[in-house]
Amino acid sequence: MSEEIPPNGGEVDAITEAVLTASRLLVGVSAKSVAAVAGPITLPQFRLLVALGSRGPLKLVSLAEMLGVNPSTATRTVDRLVTAGWAQRNSNPDSRREITVSLTDAGRDLVDRVTEYRRSEISAIVERIPHEDRAGLVRALQAFTEAGEEPPPRASPYDAGLTEWQ
Amino acid sequence: MSEEIPPNGGEVDAITEAVLTASRLLVGVSAKSVAAVAGPITLPQFRLLVALGSRGPLKLVSLAEMLGVNPSTATRTVDRLVTAGWAQRNSNPDSRREITVSLTDAGRDLVDRVTEYRRSEISAIVERIPHEDRAGLVRALQAFTEAGEEPPPRASPYDAGLTEWQ
DNA sequence: GGGCAAGAATTGCATTATGCAATGGTGATG
DNA sequence: CATCACCATTGCATAATGCAATTCTTGCCC
């Protein structure tokens, strides 16, 4: 060994801890955002709306796959969202065995409001970060993300920070 | 106003985006960890075990509060965990109207294995970060966390990165 | 073209997760 | 000791989930 960083001399552990702690904070922000804006909707339902918002109209199977749930679960969640007026089923003229699900205007509006709120919450935190720390943050976070993006995980619902656990 | 950083000159937005992206990654890591180790347990159940693991034996009400659920939900989840052999109810000699819930050895073991796995996943990512970016990461993440920790959010289950959504 | 396998959505069934509203027991305070 | 607050639990209703049919629809092969 030459200068530092033995197999795990503490630096890696320190960063890991820092990451976990920061993660905890983010989790709280997301919860707060949905609760503050989305009122009576449930999280799984909102997650489905987010998927539609970020990927556009989707077949039911694709939707289920994105959310990591069984198609039957997706079907029934869509049922509820349709009833609530946030999503709609569209028949596909090319293939009668498929349908697409898309947001209604109300649904899109809901997603936008929550996203907006969440973004503003994070911005508020970022604005309290001392200027001299900011430049390092972007570089560091990008380095972290790139290091972890070997196989890009399932894409979209995560964009809203919404998943079943974390 | 003196030198720079207008209301939102882009720097804040850039950091916000970086944070959101990194958050997405973390979410994936947590999901993978539980799925890989915890097998047949559900997420809400595991979340309860994590709370017990990080805070020790807890009254039912405290547990429910930590998890952000109704006490009745906690009661029934504990029922299932007890049946599965991962948790136990202990009568409190000081106050017969309270009970405490604690991990069994099997429960503690399960939590340890998942935590270990998750930590190793994050470490693996951290180790792929170029050395010159690492120091910046710790400082930056700490700055971020401190900036957000105005009112420290509900504590413990987040420690394992486990929540219902994110 | 007829028939058959694969794909897509849905429905049936069972279990878990949740919240709200009692209920029954226990402690504390006056 | 009488009442009020606190604690766990249970009853009831709804949502979320997965697995296993079921029903159409498409594609493909003979």
Whole-number pLDDT of residue B147: 83
Q: What is the pLDDT of residues B62-104, one digit of tens each?
A: 999 998 899 999 999 999 999 999 999 999 888 899 999 999 9
What domain range is B112 assigned to?
29-146
Calculate the average pLDDT of chain A: 79
Asked which of A130-139, B73-82, B153-162 is least confident by mean pLDDT, the reply is B153-162
pLDDT at B151 > cutoff 80 = no
User: Phi/psi of residue B59, each to 5°?
Assistant: -65, 155
* CATH number for the domain harbouring residue A137: 1.10.10.10
Asked which of B106-110, B139-143, B152-156 is least confident by mean pLDDT, the reply is B152-156
Pseudo-torsion of CA B53, B58, B61, B66, nearest 10°? -30
CA atom of B98 to C1′ atom of D3, Å: 21
Neighbours of A144 (CB within 10 A): 28
pLDDT at B111 > cutoff 70 = yes
Residue type, A15: I
Q: What is the pLDDT of residues B5-42, one digit of tens each?
A: 445 567 788 888 877 777 767 766 666 676 677 667 88
d(CA A148, CA A137): 16
Whole-number pLDDT of residue A60: 96
Whole-number pLDDT of residue B7: 54
pLDDT at A156 > cutoff 90 = no
pLDDT at A37 > cutoff 70 = yes
pLDDT at B155 > cutoff 60 = no
- B125·A143 Cβ contact <8 A: no
Neighbours of B59 (CB within 10 A): 16
> Does residue A44 lie within 7 Å of nucleic acid chain D, judged by its CB?
yes
| Range B66-87 burial, b when 16+ CB lie within 10 A, else e | bbebeeeebeebbeebeeeebb
d(CA B21, CA A20): 15
Q: What is the pLDDT of residues A77-132, one digit of tens each?
A: 999 999 999 999 999 888 999 999 999 999 999 988 888 887 888 888 888 888 88
Which residue from A minimizes the CA distance to B146?
A129
Number of domains in chain A: 1
> Does residue A83 lie within 7 Å of nucleic acid chain D, judged by its CB?
no
